[in-house]
Amino acid sequence: MKSDSPTRVGKGKVVTAVFLKDIQIELRSRVVTNQVLPFAGLVMVMFAFALDNDDVLQRVAGGLVWLATLFSLFIIVQRSFAIDTADGALDSLRVAGIDLSAVFFGKAIALATKLIALEIVLICSAVLLYRVDVSATGLVLLVTCVLCATSGLAFVGTLYGGLTAGAKGRETLLPLLLLPVVAPVLIAATRATEAAFGSGGAQTSEGWAWIGLLAVFAAVFGVGGSLAFGSLIDE
Amino acid sequence: MSQVLQRTSPTGTRTTKVIGALALLVMAWVVVSGLILTPQDVVQGESVRIMYVHVPSAWIAYLAFIFTAVASASWLISKKHSMGFDRFAGASAEVGVMFMAITLITGSLWGRLTWGEFWQWDPRLTTTAFLFVTYVGYLAVRRLEGSVEQRARRSAVVAMLAVLEIPLVHFSVVLWRSLHQGATVLNPNGDVKMDDLMLFTLFSGVVGFTLVFVWLVLHRQRTMLLVDIANRQGLDAAIAARQTESLVK
Amino acid sequence: MIVSFSDVVVVYDNFPALAGASFEVSSGEIVLLQGPNGAGKTTLLRACAGLLPIARGSANVLSCDLTSDRHSVRRKVGLLSHANGLFQDLTVEENMSFWSRLIGASNQDVKTAMHIMGLSDRLSTTRVANLSAGQKRRCALATLIVRRAQLWLLDEPHAGLDTQGRDELDKTLRAAREAGATVMFASHEIDRAQNLATRSLTVVGGLVTES
Amino acid sequence: MKDAGFIFGSYIVTLGAILMFTFATLRRAKDSSQSVTEKDKTWL
């Protein structure tokens, strides 16, 4: 056995390894699939009970989809870091001496994957439960909106999730930090989704201005997060 | 002189005494003039009096957060990572959060009188509310456990993230309100015709609140230093106590 | 010198876990840290790995100055802490391949390490959550072997292992030493540990003394 | 004065908050300054 330390691994490989690890754990433990998805679906049904009016439901469907996504976001983010803190794996990641911004992107992509699965279910349930119609152009807008909004949410979720991982009172601190940050995503994604759904007579074209905002948000926190994550997670 | 000062306040100096006295004087003038001497506004009526405390506190709140951002950036950039920047950022944010709370409360009281509603989803108001929550979060991050250096690094990074966040929040709310012209309420801000005394009172308010801000930040920041020093001395004692464990054996 | 600590103070939440520790470790040593619970052994090992800020004093590990830069040392050390650093929902093999991919180790190294720790065959496809405490420890040790660290830091590596596992561990550490690595480990198994170690240090009350 | 409650209320909130912050700060300064020597108070 030689004692030279192994050569430094490329960033892309670390991103892939972390991403696959998080997804694999989810496929095994099924926390998002078996707990968060039913929770989010239930929220959509509860909204229908609470609002109890087909017209209103159609109008607010976009907002409800993204509100349910946000609530689930907190649970998924906490779960995403709980798997790393449970048995000290986060320490091992620190000692591995790898580029922590690669860990940031790996975890963010895994988080985005889970969120997209969740959003597909939520949008489908909106179509089924709230009788929303989506046109072909609306669908293009909707898919773009989901992709941009999800990247933004995944970046800030991973960033602040890392900051609060292992901290005392993280259950309340995480929403306190995340909620004001994700407000632009909630507003923009909701408007874009409403435009795609044609809620309240909105035109599809109205939605694209919001996509720009979502893209800027994702870009800003993608860059900011990759710079800040290391110093937040690693004292 | 300094002995007397020490008895009243350990964080005071001659400069802060002067600033404090000036602040008291100007604030007293603002209260008297704002409540009694100034006339009521043609459009707003008596409610314009709230403006003499509301506008200066909003100004100070925003100023405080700019200071926090600049001090945090200075901490991150400076090679020495001087803790003075960190304490300044923290003190300024604390005072800023207080003034932001004052701004939101007095603003909604004024809104109730002028618009008939406590709250309007107006971009400026909404951004202000989000700024408030963001910096409450910043203060929560400062209270996370860890060493002084850890606190400084974490909070400086979070302050920088807030600087990224606020323009996005503001822009999204502006875009939201401009696309959905729902219940737009006549915004009487632009209609105020202020006479000289009213303008002077408002101006005095800004000066007085700025003096209060400077005084509070100076004292708060020195208090933070005192607490840090006291903790360090506590550490000396703790180290000595810890070392005696080995003698017992 | 591989490790050189001088009056090092490390603080946890206002508690000085290390209260002025001074010691040196030179290349090729196997150093045993002994001392009562709460003496500061774990803190000492974690500080060597660059995980904890040095509040006072000076610390130098593998020619990295820990007071100014705690990051560059991390790639060169291997740390086995109380926690195993494993993902409960993944199998032994998946855990191994994750950690080895992060540090760029070859498949052959992974196989060898798993073989050494007796984790081949059936165990390799068992989820970590279903392993016994000792088997988890073996798995954690296997991830450490793959690292080929210059400095091995082990916090109670013997705990939880059966006699066979302990023998394998001792053999592994001796082999690592022969390959030029330096080892520091904490243990309460004094007889076995003293047999393995080339030198032993006592940690009490956050201080380190030669013993 | 019309709406006196609102107007006085906003002045009381403003001044009250500032005073409370001031006293809390001075109090904390006094509590933690006991053991700190003059030399460490760099502002003096």
* pLDDT one-digit tens code per residue, A59-92: 889 999 999 999 999 999 999 999 999 898 988 8
**φ, ψ for residue C209, nearest 5 deg:** -130, 150
Q: Touching check for A83 and chain C: CB below 8 Å?
A: yes
Determine the residue of chain B that is closest to C68 in CA distance. B80
Compute the distance between CA of residue C178 and CA of residue A194 in angstroms, rounded to an integer.
Answer: 68
Q: Is residue A107 part of a domain?
A: yes
pLDDT digits (tens, 9 = 90+) for B91-104: 999 999 999 999 99
Tell me, yes or no, whether chains B and C touch by having 3 or more C-beta pairs under 8 A: yes
pLDDT of B22 > 60? The answer is: yes
A159 touches chain C (CB under 8 A): no
Q: How far is residue A80's CA from residue A22's CA, in Å, rounded to a whole number?
A: 7
Q: Which chains touch B (3 or more CB pairs under 8 A)?
A: A, C, D
From chain C, pick out residues whose CB is under 8 angstroms from the CB of B231: 14
- Report chain B residues whose CB lies below 8 A from the CB of D27: none
Q: Is B45 helix (H, G, I), strand (E, B) or coil?
A: strand
Q: Confidence band (pLDDT; 50, 70, 90) for B45?
A: confident
Tell me the per-residue pLDDT of C155-203, one tens digit each, with 9 for 90 and over: 999 888 889 889 988 998 998 899 889 999 999 888 889 989 999 999 9
What is the distance in angstroms between the CA of the first residue and the CA of the last residue of chain D?
48
DSSP letters of chain C? --EEEEEEEEEETTEEEEEEEEEEE-TT-EEEEE--TTSSHHHHHHHHTT-S---EEEEEETTEETTT-SSTTGGGEEEE-SS----TTSBHHHHHHHHHHHHT--HHHHHHHHHHTT--GGGGGSBGGGS-HHHHHHHHHHHHHHH--SEEEEESTTTT--HHHHHHHHHHHHHHHHTT-EEEEE-S-HHHHHHH-SEEEEEETTEEEE-
Compute the average pLDDT of residues C123-136. Answer: 90
The predicted structure's pLDDT at residue B6: 54
The model's pTM: 0.90
What stretches of B77-117 adopt beta strand conformation (E)? none
| Among A62, A44, A136, CA closest to B180 | A62
Q: Report the distance separating Cα C52 and Cα C43, nearest Å.
A: 8
Distance from CA of A169 to the nearest CA of B (A): 9
Set of chain C residues whose Cβ sits within 8 Å of the Cβ of A17: 98, 101-102
C93 chain-A contacts, CB cut-off 8 A: none
Position B2 pLDDT exceeds 50: no
Residue A186 within any structural domain of the chain: yes
**What's the fold here for domain C3-86+142-210?**
Rossmann fold (3.40.50)
CB contact C14 to B (< 8 Å): yes
ipTM value: 0.88
Q: How far apart are CA B232 and CA C121, in angstroms?
A: 55
Strands C199-204 and C182-186: unpaired
Within a 13 Å sphere around the CA of C191, how many CA atoms are in the beta-carbon half? 0
The answer to whether chain C touches chain D by having 3 or more C-beta pairs less than 8 angstroms apart is no
Q: β-strands C182-186, C151-155: how paired?
A: parallel
Interface chains of chain C (3 or more CB pairs under 8 Å): A, B
Q: How far is D25 from chain B (nearest CA, A)?
A: 6
d(CA A223, CA C125): 38
Query: Kindly report the CA angle at C103 between C102 and C106, in degrees rounded to 5?
Result: 105
Interstrand relation of C3-12 and C15-25 (parallel, antiparallel or unpaired): antiparallel
Q: Give me A48's structure tokens.
A: 């229908």
User: Residue ranges of the domains in chain C?
Assistant: 3-86+142-210
Stretch A37-56: mean pLDDT: 87
Report chain A residues whose CB lies below 8 A from the CB of C117: none
Residue of B nearest to D42 (CA): B222
**CB proximity list for B70: less than 8 A, separation 6 or greater:** none
Reply yes or no on whether the pLDDT at C44 is more than 60: yes
Task: For residue A85, count CB atoms less than 10 angstroms from its CB and return exposed for 0-12, middle for 13-18, buried for 19 or more.
Answer: middle
The pLDDT assigned to B248 comes to: 61
Token pair of B34 as six digits:
């704002």
Order of all β-strands in the sheet with C56-61: C15-25, C3-12, C56-61, C64-65
Distances (CA, A) of A131 to A61, A145, B158: 9, 20, 42
A29–C89: do the CB atoms touch at under 8 Å? yes
Contact D43 B11 (CB under 8 A): yes
pLDDT at B188: 47
Q: What percent of chain A has pLDDT over 70?
A: 96
**C103 is written with which tokens?**
């540090």
Mutate to test the interface with B, among A59, A174, A181 (most CBs of B within 10 A): A181
Nearest to C88 by CA among C157, C120, C136: C136
Mean residue pLDDT across chain C:
90
Q: How far is B178 from chain D (nearest CA, A)?
A: 31
Average pLDDT of span B115-134: 86
C207/B243 Cβ within 8 A: yes
Residue C105: its chain A contacts at CB < 8 A? 6
Put simply, the answer to whether A184 touches B146 (Cβ < 8 Å) is no
Say yes or no for a CB contact (<8 Å) between C105 and A8: no
Q: Does the CB of C149 have a partner CB in chain A at under 8 Å?
A: yes
What is the domain range of residue A167?
Answer: 11-233
Any C CB within 8 A of A7 CB: yes
pLDDT bracket for residue A112 (50, 70, 90): very high
Q: Which of A129-133, B8-12, B27-31, B113-117 has the lowest mean pLDDT?
A: B8-12
Q: pLDDT digits over D13-44, tens only?
A: 999 999 999 999 998 888 888 777 777 777 76
DSSP reduced 3-state for D37: coil
Rounded to whole angstroms, how far apart are CA atoms B79 and B94? 26
In chain A, which residues touch B (CB < 8 A)?
159, 163, 167-168, 173, 176-177, 179-181, 183-184, 187-188, 191, 206, 209-210, 213, 216-217, 220-221, 224, 228, 231-232, 235
Count of domains for chain A: 1
Q: Any residues with CB less than 8 A from the CB of C16 and at least 6 apart, and which?
A: B235, B238, B239, B242, C9, C10, C55, C206
**What would the mean pLDDT of A132-140 be, rounded to a whole number?**
87
Phi first, then psi, for residue B145 (nearest 5°) are -75, 160
Measuring CA to CA, which residue among A65, A225, A233, A78 is closest to residue A151? A225
**A228·B169 Cβ contact <8 A:** no
Minimum-distance CB partner of D36 among B27, B45, B229 = B229
